[in-house]
Amino acid sequence: MPKNAIITAEIERWEKTPLTELLGNHPHFVNQSIFGFLADRLTQKSLLDELGLSTSPWCLLENKDQWQDVFQNLGEKVVVKRRTGGYDGRGQWIITNENKSEISDDLFGEVITEKFIPFDYEVSLVGARFKNGEKRFYPVTHNLQQNGILRYSVVDTAFPQQPHQKYKLKRCWVKSWIGSIMWV
């Protein structure tokens, strides 16, 4: 691999292989320092709170004695998510008081709990920051899921794009996010 190559990655986690070791140890892996930070929902949500960017109400679930407070503060239905590795519908549970035993003792401290918020659809807004500070955005995409797993993220020409006020706000949100971390 050339010494002057620039390495970046857009996935929160990756398997340990000879290639990922090579990439991860390259001196020009520009977002290496933020990789672990982005992969952990606890640090993600904490940063968003610190920046004053609203997300679903949440808490770290450290032990089973918290359930009463969780349901009182977040609602009678919550989503429990692994802090790391719980993407694409894996490592996520919809929990009520009746099925809270699905969360085994070994998960406490390794999961966050969020208020369950029903939604009709999900969109993605992806932005990037260049070394010079310039920020650019891909078009808003509509995410299509099957059994809780993201299957497609597509630009739908019938879907509202950036001029829509809602997406202007989200763009400001993403600008705050990528402007606050040393990630190019």
Confidence band (pLDDT; 50, 70, 90) for 184? very low
CB-CB neighbours of 5 under 10 Å: 11
Q: Report the C-alpha gap between 69 and 113 in whole angstroms.
A: 11
Side-by-side strand order, sheet with 122-124: 122-124, 141-146, 149-154
116: left (phi over 0), alpha (psi -120 to 50) or beta: beta
Q: What's the mean pLDDT in 132-160?
A: 79
Question: For residue range 26-74, what is the model confidence (pLDDT) as tens digits?
Answer: 888 877 667 677 778 999 899 888 888 788 999 999 999 999 999 999 9
Closest CA to 53 of 134, 163, 171, 160: 171
> Is this structure's pTM higher than 0.85?
no
Is it the case that residue 170 has pLDDT exceeding 80? no
* Cβ(151)–Cβ(144) below 8 Å: yes
What residue spans define the domains of the chain? 58-115, 120-184
What CATH architecture applies to the domain 58-115?
A: 2-Layer Sandwich (3.30)
Is it the case that residue 167 has pLDDT exceeding 50? yes
Lowest pLDDT segment from 22-26, 66-70, 106-110, 145-149: 145-149
